[in-house]
């Protein structure tokens, strides 16, 4: 028979420290009104006795549950989701919070927010790469709880953290233009996604600045297979292209296979640029030139921003826009006329 050791209580700590249990409560909840000497003594006793605060009691006392919630909306292909969830959970722990995760679709968002409110979470990170919702509607649904979106949504004046997709695409397009490419095809993410919409729009815009038009286009859904199928679709058009911009490194892996099956060499016949700088990008054949998104930084900033909003409800809402950079590898090359200086 296993005997379970009785967990110490706040009154046990108070008795040993020779103080009131209210004083111990102030220390547990990091409140002022306790001398530094007494605070250190109480913290030492808590550690020695392996004291664990009663979260339910803390919530009633402080109106804080020390819990955040990540609500994922309409994510149909995982991609970086597992890594991002882990990153945010770690950042939450570092900030003294735990992280819950829930999943819904656009129609169920209001119910998901209602459930989060019923759990008395302190704040919400909302990841909805397809979610299109007016600011006022989202504010009404969230009912004042601090909320940060993990998306690039320039149309929103609420709190969000995202990578500048327009700048990212300019990096890719202008890199190819600098190498002499003028016939550029593309496999952007589906336009249902915020990132897909902005990348496709930016490709056309940047090329238009140079008096050029975008070549054949086929969308993908972030999966490797969709990149392969989209490249097949582009090749079937018979339209010439010397460069291909692909929405993710994974999609590029599929597209590169389709190009090779068609007898095209990379980068001799077709230069390929992608997005993300995933681990696989440096191990493809040839290694991929790619726009680097440091997703771990985005994940950390989401949690940090949310914690700031919890601590200071009067903080003016703003957007934290991350700037990507281009990693040039061997999947792109200058056209012969440019390489030869003619």
CATH number of domain containing 247: 3.40.50.2300
Residue among 203, 265, 261, 198 at smallest CA distance from 227: 261
pLDDT of 186 strictly over 60: yes
Which two three-digit tokens encode residue 299? 């994940």
pLDDT of 1 strictly over 50: no
Query: Is residue 266 a contact partner of residue 256, using CB atoms and an 8 Å limit?
Result: yes
For residue 267, being part of any structural domain is answered with: yes
Whole-angstrom Cα distance, residue 282 to residue 288?
6
pLDDT, position 124 = 96
For residue 259, being part of any structural domain is answered with: yes
pLDDT of 264 strictly over 70: yes
Whole-angstrom Cα distance, residue 9 to residue 1?
24
pLDDT category of residue 340 using cuts at 50, 70 and 90? very low
Considering the domain architecture, whether residues 243 and 282 belong to the same structural domain is answered as yes
Considering the domain architecture, whether residues 17 and 71 belong to the same structural domain is answered as no
pLDDT category of residue 126 using cuts at 50, 70 and 90? very high
**210 or 62, greater pLDDT:** 210
Q: How many domains does the chain have?
A: 3
Whole-angstrom Cα distance, residue 146 to residue 304?
12
pLDDT of 282 strictly over 70: yes
List of residues 6+ apart from 276 with CB closer than 8 A: 80, 248, 249, 250, 290, 291, 292, 293, 295
Considering the domain architecture, whether residues 30 and 71 belong to the same structural domain is answered as no
**57 or 79, greater pLDDT:** 79
Considering the domain architecture, whether residues 75 and 31 belong to the same structural domain is answered as no
For residue 188, being part of any structural domain is answered with: yes
For residue 62, being part of any structural domain is answered with: no
Place of tokens 């993990």: 150
pLDDT category of residue 2 using cuts at 50, 70 and 90? very low
Considering the domain architecture, whether residues 24 and 49 belong to the same structural domain is answered as yes
List of residues 6+ apart from 13 with CB closer than 8 A: 21, 24, 42, 45, 46, 49, 51
pLDDT, position 34 = 87
Average pLDDT over residues 55-72: 69
Domain of 101, in residue numbers:
67-163+295-323
Considering the domain architecture, whether residues 142 and 220 belong to the same structural domain is answered as no
For residue 90, being part of any structural domain is answered with: yes
Q: In what order do the strands lie in the sheet with 271-276?
A: 184-187, 243-246, 271-276, 289-292, 325-327
Whole-angstrom Cα distance, residue 224 to residue 45?
55
pLDDT, position 333 = 97
Considering the domain architecture, whether residues 31 and 152 belong to the same structural domain is answered as no
pLDDT, position 173 = 98
Considering the domain architecture, whether residues 196 and 286 belong to the same structural domain is answered as yes
Q: Which of 47-51, 212-216, 278-282 has the lowest mean pLDDT?
A: 47-51
pLDDT category of residue 279 using cuts at 50, 70 and 90? very high
Considering the domain architecture, whether residues 205 and 332 belong to the same structural domain is answered as yes
List of residues 6+ apart from 275 with CB closer than 8 A: 168, 172, 199, 246, 247, 248, 249, 290, 291, 293
Query: Is residue 185 a contact partner of residue 238, using CB atoms and an 8 Å limit?
Result: no
pLDDT of 177 strictly over 70: yes
pLDDT category of residue 339 using cuts at 50, 70 and 90? very low
CB-count burial class (<10 Å; 0-12, 13-18, 19+) for 173: buried
The CA distances from residue 77 to 146, 184, 193, 281, in Å, are: 27, 26, 11, 19
DSSP-derived secondary structure letter, 217: B
For residue 302, being part of any structural domain is answered with: yes
pLDDT, position 342 = 36
Considering the domain architecture, whether residues 83 and 181 belong to the same structural domain is answered as no
Q: Which of 25-29, 113-117, 150-154 has the lowest mean pLDDT?
A: 25-29
Residue among 281, 217, 227, 223 at smallest CA distance from 259: 227
pLDDT of 48 strictly over 90: no
Percent of residues, the chain, with pLDDT higher than 70: 91
pLDDT of 94 strictly over 70: yes
**287 or 3, greater pLDDT:** 287
Average pLDDT over residues 297-305: 96
User: What CA dihedral angle connects 89, 94, 98 and 101, to 10 degrees?
Assistant: -20
| Alpha helices by DSSP H, the chain | 10-17, 21-28, 36-48, 55-62, 81-94, 109-118, 135-142, 165-178, 194-209, 224-237, 249-261, 295-311, 336-339
Place of tokens 């030139």: 289
Query: Is residue 68 a contact partner of residue 306, using CB atoms and an 8 Å limit?
Result: yes
pLDDT, position 4 = 45
pLDDT category of residue 128 using cuts at 50, 70 and 90? very high
Considering the domain architecture, whether residues 285 and 183 belong to the same structural domain is answered as yes
pLDDT, position 5 = 53
Considering the domain architecture, whether residues 71 and 159 belong to the same structural domain is answered as yes
pLDDT of 215 strictly over 50: yes
Q: What is the DSSP string of 227-257?
A: HHHHHHHHHHH----SEEEESSHHHHHHHHH
With both helix axes pointing from N to C terminus, report the angle between 36-48 and 10-17 in degrees, rounded to the nearest 10.
130
For residue 145, being part of any structural domain is answered with: yes
Whole-angstrom Cα distance, residue 327 to residue 290?
5
Pairing of strands 325-327, 289-292: antiparallel
Average pLDDT over residues 66-70: 93
For residue 1, being part of any structural domain is answered with: no
DSSP-derived secondary structure letter, 314: T
Whole-angstrom Cα distance, residue 53 to residue 266?
59
């Amino acid at each position: 028979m296993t005997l379970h050791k009785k967990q110490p209580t706040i009154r046990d700590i108070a008795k040993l420290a020779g103080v009131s249990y209210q004083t111990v409560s102030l220390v547990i909840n990091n409140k002022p009104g306790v001398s530094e000497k007494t605070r250190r003594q109480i913290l030492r006793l808590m550690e020695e006795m392996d004291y664990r605060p009663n979260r339910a009691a803390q919530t009633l006392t402080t109106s804080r549950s020390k819990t955040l919630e990540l609500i994922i909306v309409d994510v149909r292909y995982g991609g970086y989701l597992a890594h991002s969830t882990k990153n945010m959970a770690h950042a939450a722990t570092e900030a003294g919070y735990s992280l819950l995760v829930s999943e819904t679709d656009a129609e169920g968002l209001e119910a998901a927010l209602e459930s989060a409110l019923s759990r008395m979470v302190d704040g919400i990170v909302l990841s909805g790469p397809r979610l299109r919702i007016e600011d006022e509607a989202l504010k009404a649904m969230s009912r004042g709880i601090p909320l940060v979106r993990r998306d690039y949504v320039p149309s929103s004046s609420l709190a969000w953290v995202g990578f500048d997709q327009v700048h990212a695409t300019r990096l890719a397009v202008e890199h190819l233009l600098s190498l002499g490419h003028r016939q550029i095809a593309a496999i952007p993410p589906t336009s249902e996604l915020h990132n897909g919409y902005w990348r496709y729009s930016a490709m056309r815009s940047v090329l238009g600045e140079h008096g050029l038009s975008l070549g054949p286009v086929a969308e993908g859904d972030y999966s490797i297979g969709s990149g392969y199928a989209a490249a097949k679709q582009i090749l079937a058009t018979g339209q010439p292209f010397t460069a291909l911009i692909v929405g993710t490194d994974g999609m590029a892996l599929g597209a590169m296979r389709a190009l090779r099956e068609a007898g095209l060499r990379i980068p001799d016949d077709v230069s390929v640029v992608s997005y993300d700088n995933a681990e696989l990008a440096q191990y493809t054949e040839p290694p991929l030139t790619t726009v680097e998104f440091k997703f771990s930084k985005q994940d950390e900033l989401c949690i940090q921003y949310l914690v700031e909003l919890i601590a200071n409800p009067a903080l003016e809402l703003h957007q934290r826009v991350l700037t990507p950079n281009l990693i040039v590898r061997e999947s792109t090359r200058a056209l012969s006329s440019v390489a030869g200086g003619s």
